[in-house]
Homo-oligomer: A and B are copies of this chain.
């Protein structure tokens, strides 16, 4: 397998784009990535598109082909991949495979979702397509309910407090204020968080990511195709791992850990030859405040059980041991589901180039973590600046 590089990146803002068709969001992000890459469209050999619920929410499928045509990419293979909230990460990994294997020299990967036009009931119902509805459906659980249970268990097992968990919200919302792409940055106090509406006890409104519209795109390439600009700040994909875990909640031995994350992180560390302590910046899947705590432990960035304490002590903040979600994460940047995994890579690339509006000092190694459903699908990527 040969080395794969980031040739260009593009993104829409995350938020409400009610008047914009979903394919137009994808095209906007993708066109920006192509222009930045300086690579001729004719050199792009494949397109992967990550999307989760455009069928139920927008009545649109075959988005890969539709976006490929709009971009003028010709008769190349255009493939949509789906793995719930990990759809974007899975799309990225397939673009990486296409180049690493030598099949293509440049590949477009774009993630997109459009949700805010739909009612809360429609969005909840669509998101629940990511559950094992045949088995877990009768329980009546939704994702806030699942992560609410995880919070209770984490609190009971490790003594994690409401204050610990609120510190994740305060950090990510503050980071979001510094990210022009973010939907919901905010300067929040513990009191405001505790006063917000109860969603699924103990999860309150500010503990939950919003529904979002948006798209993000990356052009990946083999080394010879890198533009002279990209060569000055060469971003290499050091690892791209994808795993699965049980879709059934009852099959998880511990709701405070997702096996798919643990195994994907192991693979990514092995592939890159790096260790958790080498990671300078990580964009991880904080669909809920408690999720960031669990993810940071599963990825090995924080010792087991200490995710809440580390957040409270600022050790996952901008000047901490590892900067987690300087973009604002899903909580503040937003969560246009199929776009999220690509948006994370966009953010990490900006960090590694040293050009982020919320820059982590001396960031050379970045990680992204994208988790789908009840931990049914996961991708972990590690990128590095040469």
Contacts and interface: CB of A to CB of B under 8 A. Distances in A.
Interface of A: 1, 21, 23, 52-53, 55-56, 59-62, 64-66, 68-69, 73-84, 90, 93-94, 97-98, 100-103, 125-126, 128-130, 132-134, 242-248, 251, 259-260, 263, 372-373, 376-377
Q: Which one of A65, A82, A132 has the greatest number of beta carbons of chain B within 10 Å? A: A65
B245 A59 contact: no
A260 B75 contact: yes
Given A69-B247, A377-B65, A133 B59 contact: yes
Contacts of A377: 62, 64-65, 78
Contacts of A242: 77, 79
Contacts of A52: 61
A75 to B, nearest CB: 5
Copies in the complex: 2
A83 B62 contact: yes
Contact of A77 (B74, B132, B244, B246): B244
A75 B245 contact: yes
A153 B100 CA distance: 45
Contacts of A94: 79, 94
Contacts of A130: 61-62
A75 B244 CA distance: 5
Q: Which 5 A-B pairs have the closest CB atoms?
A: A101-B101, A65-B376, A77-B242, A61-B129, A55-B55
A240 B126 CA distance: 34
Given A59-B125, A59-B128, A69-B248, 12 more contacts: A1-B102, A21-B134, A23-B134, A53-B55, A55-B126, A61-B129, A62-B82, A64-B377, A69-B251, A75-B260, A78-B377, A101-B102
Nearest to A49: B82
Contacts of A102: 1, 101
Contacts of A23: 134
Contacts of A129: 55, 59-62
A62 B372 contact: yes
Nearest to A52: B61
Contacts of A55: 53, 55-56, 126, 129
Given A60-B133, A134-B23, A83 B97 contact: no
A84 to B, nearest CB: 5
A250 to B, nearest CB: 12
Nearest to A61: B129
Nearest to A260: B75
A257 to B, nearest CB: 13
A370 B1 CA distance: 30
A86 B66 CA distance: 14
A65 B61 CA distance: 20
Contacts of A103: 1, 97, 101
Contacts of A76: 243-244
Given A56-B56, A103-B101, A82 B83 contact: no
A79 B90 contact: yes
Q: Which one of A76, A97, A244, A259 has the greatest number of beta carbons of chain B within 10 Å? A: A244
